[in-house]
C-alpha cells in the first residue's frame, strides 16, 4: 500500500463530482467514499474539502440541502447539478486522456 495520502493536485473537484454523481452526500460521506474507493491511497483534508464545496457551490456545480442524516442528525447534503454533470464529463475525459498519455510515456 503506497504511503502517500495526498491527492493528486487538481483532482479534488473531479473526485467530489464523481462521488456526488452517484447520490447526494454530506462532507464526511464524500471523504469516506474517496478514501474507500481509492483503497486508502487518498485521504481528503476536511479544510480542503469544505473549501472546495464552497467554491463549487458558487460555480453552480453542486447544490447544498439540509436534511436529516442516517444517524438522525441535521446534515448538509450536496447533490450534483446539471452543470456539474457536464463539468464531470469534460474533466473525466480530460483526465483519462492525460492518464493514458502518462501511462504510455511511463511504459515506453
Partner 1 sequence: MPPFRSLRAGLRALFHKEAVSRELDDEIALFVDEATRANIRAGMPPADAARAARARVGSGTAVRERALSGGWETAIESLVQDVRFGVRGMRRNLALTTAAILTIALGVGANTAVFSVVDAVVLRPLPWRDADRLTLLQTDDVRRALHREPTAWRTIADWSNASRTVGSIAYFATQRVTILPTDPGGDRGRSRSALISANLFPLLGVAPLRGRVISAADESQRAAVAVISFGFWQRELHGTAAVLGRTITLDDAAKGGASALTIVGVMPEGFYFPDRLTEIWTPATTWWRFERESVERFPSWARRWTAVGRLADGTSVDDAHAEFTRIGERLAATYQSSVPDFPGFGVTLTPIRDVIVGQNVRATLWVLLGAVGVVLLIACANVANLLLARGSARQQELVLRRALGAARIRVARQLIVESLVLSLAGGALGALVAVWGSRLLGVSAAAYVPRIDEMAVDWRVLVFAAGTSVVAGIVFGIAPALRFSGVDARESLSGAARTVGPRGTRTHRDWLVGAECALALVLLTGAGLLVRSLVAVQNVNPGFDPDGVLTVRVEFPPESPPTAAERAEGSPVGQLRGRARLTLATAVGERVRAIPGVTDVGFVDDLYRIGAGNTAITIPGRIEETGAGELTDGTADAGFFSTLRVPVRAGRLLTTADAEQKLRALYTPVNTALSLAEKERQAVAEPVVVNAAFAKEFFSGQDPVGKRFCVEPTGKTYWYEIVGVIGDMHREGLEHRPIPEWYGPWIPSANGRVDLLVRAPGNPLALGPQVRDAVMRVLPGATVVSISTADAQLGDFSALRRLQTWLFTAFALLALVLAAIGIFGVVWFAVTERTREIGVRLALGASPAQVMVLILGQGLRTPALGIAFGVIGSLAFTRVLSSFLFGVTATDPATFVGVAALLAGIATAACWLAGRGALRVDPVTALRDG
Q: Which residues bind partner 1 (CB under 8 A)?
A: 26-29, 31-32, 46-48, 50-51, 53-55, 57-60, 69, 71, 73-76
Q: How many CA atoms lie within 13 A of 34 on its CB side?
A: 25
Q: Name which of 3 and 74 has its Cβ closer to partner 1.
A: 74
Please give the Cα distance from 58 to 52 (Å, whole number): 10
Among candidate residues 15, 18, 21, 29, the one with its CA nearest the CA of residue 69: 29
Residue closer to partner 1 by CB (options 4, 69) is 69
If the CB atoms of residues 14 and 61 are measured against partner 1, the closer one turns out to be 61
Amino acid at each position: 500500500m503506497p504511503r502517500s495520502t495526498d491527492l493528486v493536485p487538481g483532482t479534488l473537484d473531479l473526485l467530489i463530482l464523481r462521488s456526488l454523481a452517484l447520490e447526494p452526500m454530506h462532507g464526511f460521506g464524500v471523504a469516506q467514499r474517496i478514501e474507500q474507493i481509492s483503497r486508502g491511497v487518498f485521504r481528503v483534508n476536511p479544510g480542503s474539502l469544505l473549501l472546495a464545496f464552497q467554491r463549487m457551490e458558487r460555480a453552480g456545480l453542486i447544490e447544498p440541502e439540509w436534511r436529516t442524516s442516517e444517524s438522525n442528525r441535521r446534515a448538509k447534503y450536496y447533490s450534483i447539478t446539471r452543470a456539474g454533470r457536464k463539468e464531470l464529463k469534460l474533466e473525466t475525459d480530460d483526465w483519462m486522456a492525460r492518464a493514458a498519455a502518462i501511462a504510455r510515456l511511463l511504459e515506453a
